[in-house]
Structure 1
Amino acid sequence: MASNNMQYKNLGRSGLKVSQLSYGAWVSFGNQLDVKEAKSILQTCRDHGVNFFDNAEVYASGRAEEIMGQAIRELGWKRSDVVISTKIFWGGPGPNDKGLSRKHIVEGTKASLKRLDMEYVDLIYCHRPDATTPIEETVRAMNYVMDKGWAFYWGTSEWSAQQITDAWAIAERLDLVGPIVEQPEYNLLSRHKVETEFLPLYTNYGLGLTTFSPLASGVLTGKYTKGNIPPDSRFALDNYKNLASRKLVDDVLQKVNGLKPIADELGVPLAQLAIAWCAANPNVSSVITGATKESQIQENMKAVDVIPLLTPAVMEKIEAVVQSKQKRPECVR
């Protein structure tokens, strides 16, 4: 067992306990890793105290769920020891294979469980908002999924504060359960939603957050410098080229360079500082990390020991760097 100071937090206001750092299959499972490699990655996570694993029906077109399910089965884990989540939205090419209709939520959930070879997931998300389906239909369908025992809790991913508020109003009117968690992107370079837009939701609905992209797709590791993309990195993959051009702008690299001395002063790699910073936000229940190598997980997980180092003075230094370019006018014109 690796030395592990993992903390477990309630998922929002629910009774479910999730590790402060979790693991997501987004880029890796099926695209870069097979079952054998997935097993060693998942076990390394468990050894570091991770109990929460995130997936989606769309990841590697369903292959990510199959790999995770098979790996967990072969590892012989006790189901109640882990929290497994998946997300429903993009299930296939047909007109009813996507979105948040009652039809696709029910069929998509059943198909996910079949791929995972599990009787239930602990948590199921609406992977995106669906403008073509009334939110009431989605709220009712998600409650049906829970009533069937296919999932214990439901949440949203990349929904706006208004959409989450609407879902809660409907749930309260119908005496149903609202979404207890949202999964947004959150990192030192992407903060507005979590720190501003969602503020009323934490108190009003006890909304929890499982945030993704703590390293801004690797930018906050400091491994990308002007005009340099390491060949084994995510941005070198063909389907991530446009992401690279969007993320690696001068302003961003300037901030990354400004953060490096703060990490150096604490004696930790920038990546660990960036993950710890996300986890230190009291509204964040769990930070979803990604990794394709065991060594990356071992590094990422050390971030739990960095959280206590984030004193108000250190947080102020970080703030000075990341906000340096973002002095927004107070009034909206």
Structure 2
Amino acid sequence: MEFRYLGSSGLKISEITYGNWLTHGSQVENDIATQCVHAALDVGITSFDTADVYANTKAESVLGDALKGQRRESLEIFTKVYWPTGPRGHNDVGLSRKHIMESIDGSLTRLQTDYVDLYQAHRFDTETPLEETMQAFADIVRQGKALYIGVSEWTAAQLRAGHALSKELGFNLISSQPQYSMLWRVIEDEVVPTSRELGIGQIVWSPVAQGVLTGKYKVGQTPPAGSRATDLKGGADMISRFMNDDVLTRVQKLEPIAADLNLSMAQLAVAWVLQNDNVSAALVGASRPEQVRENVKAAGVKIPAESMKQIDEVLGDAVEHDSAMTSATAPQSRPA
């Protein structure tokens, strides 16, 4: 395993970070989830990412159980707050002081820990003053309930505003968690340059584009049973933007590039996002332990410039570059 600093902080995290979105507490049984976490630990992964909204808090509980007995100081545990949880009452959502202060205590209880290494605003809250949100985060840091603060899917302007307030309040915003892959590069033109300037590192999700970049989806063929494209609990919706003949045909043309580098398609996709020096870690999930053991082989891989150029030529205009997509895909108001 390779380790990278998270932004300009002194915190090192495993460049392959285990994430349990859409799996723990929903798609896979708890014993399998625990096996996946233990497989991650066995291959040197020390960083684990979850969120209170995943499986409506169940994912945090599963992760807490799976990590029980591990030396806490040897782990980096991340979670998030924003989306509706619990009974979905009118204050069970957003980044108000009330929701943040109550949510951190719930997350710590479920994760069976006294603190999280990174607490993240899961989206930007358009209905709460940013000053209120950042003050709540500052208080959580001072209370020792979170060591560092980050965000997820914020625009460059939002990152700049949040970072300025964090410095005024005596802490630093150190991370951003956006979607990023060979096919989805919307952070490159604005979010990444701003983050470099501010000392913010990226922890990117969906580096294999919800499984599309593994090559398992073929033109004219029914998606494999149990795959993300067949998941009616949310996975199929997330993957739909990539499930068209043009994208799938281009992805198949990546196979010779991966083979030349002695990598699987998934390993190539994960290694590709790690070539970006503003990326601190790539989030990978798993529904089987062997997936963890395979994905971790992308750690430390250096893709030659010629191969990077070939990837760009193969994918061509199937790649989404528009930086406006960060705000276009974000909630414009708190979800009910």
| TM-score of the aligned structures, taking structure 2 as reference length | 0.90
Higher helix share: 1
CA contact (8 A) 1:35 1:70 kept: no
Cα deviation digits, residues 117-166 of structure 1 (max 9, x gap): 21111100000100000111111111111111100000000111111111
Structure 1 position 318 matched with structure 2 position 311: yes
Q: Is 1:134 aligned to residue 125 of structure 2?
A: no
Task: Tell me the secondary structure at the aligned position of residue 153 of structure 1.
Answer: strand
- Mapping of residues 269-280 of structure 1, within 5 Å: 269-280=264-275
Provide the C-alpha distance between the structure 1 equivalents of 2:73 and 2:298, rounded to a whole number of angstroms: 26
Q: Find the partner of 2:296 among 297, 301, 305.
A: 301
- Deviation (angstroms), 1:321: 1.6
Q: Which AA in structure 2 matches 1:181?
A: S
Match of 2:236 in 1: 241
Q: Structure 2: how far apart are the matches of 1:154 and 1:213?
A: 21
Superimposed CA distance per residue, residues 94-134 of structure 1 (whole angstroms, 9 cap, x where no aligned partner): 11110000110000111111111211111000001000001
Three-state SS of the structure 1 residue aligned to 2:77 is strand
Output the CA distance in 2 between the equivalents of 1:282 and 1:98.
34
What per-residue deviation string (whole Å, max 9, x for no partner) do you get for residues 36-68 of structure 1? 222221111111110100000000111111111
How far is 1:326 from its partner? 5.7
CA distance in 2, matches of 1:299, 1:206: 31
1:183-233: CA deviation from partner (whole Å, max 9, x where unpaired): 00000000021x111133233211101000011000000000123200121
Aligned partners of 1:218 and 1:272: how far apart in 2?
12
Q: Which blocks of at least 5 consecutive residues in structure 2 are unaligned?
A: 323-336
| 1:285 match | 280
Give the SS at the match of 2:173: coil
Q: Distance between the aligned counterparts of 2:80 and 2:16, measured in 1?
A: 19
Q: Which runs of 4+ in 1 moved over 4 A?
A: 324-329
- Inter-partner Cα distance in structure 1 for 2:46 and 2:276: 20
Partner of 2:63: 68
Read off the aligned partner of 1:236 and give its amino acid letter.
T
In structure 2, the CA distance between the partners of 1:34 and 1:315, relative to structure 1 (3 Å rule), is: same
Match of 2:215 in 1: 222
For 1:328 and 1:199, how far apart are their aligned partners in 2? Answer: 13
> Residue 183 of structure 2: which of 186, 189, 198 is its match?
189
Task: Work out which of the residue numbers 154, 159, 163 in structure 1 matches 2:154.
Answer: 159
Q: CA RMSD in A?
A: 1.7
1:85 corresponds to 2:78 = yes
Range with greater deviation from structure 2 (311-320 or 78-87): 311-320
Matched residue SS, 2:51: coil
Alignment equivalent of 2:203, drawn from 192, 202, 210: 210
Quickly say closer, same or farther: Cα 1:211–1:244, change in 2 above 3 A: closer
The Cα of 1:86 is off from its aligned counterpart by 0.4
Counterpart of 1:170 in structure 2 is 165
Question: Which letter does structure 2 place at the counterpart of 1:155?
Answer: G
1:27: how far off? 1.1
Separation in 2, partners of 1:105, 1:125 = 10
CA contact (8 A) 1:272 1:300 kept: yes
**Contiguous gaps of at least 5 residues in structure 1:** 1-5
Residue equivalent to 2:36:
41
Cα separation, 2, equivalents of 1:328 and 1:55:
27
What amino acid sits opposite 1:46 in the alignment?
A: L
Provide the C-alpha distance between the structure 2 equivalents of 1:59 and 1:37, rounded to a whole number of angstroms: 17
Which one has more relative contact order, counting CA pairs under 8 Å at least 6 apart?
Answer: 2
CA contact (8 A) 1:35 1:68 kept: no
In structure 2, give the amino acid aligned to 1:210.
I
Amino acid at match of 1:237: D
Q: 1:214 to 1:251 in 2, by over 3 A?
A: same
How many percent of aligned residue pairs carry the same amino acid?
Answer: 40
CA distance, structure 2, for counterparts of residue 185 and residue 244 of structure 1: 12
Equivalent residue for 2:141, pick from 136, 143, 146: 146
Q: CA deviation at 1:327?
A: 10
Aligned positions, number: 318
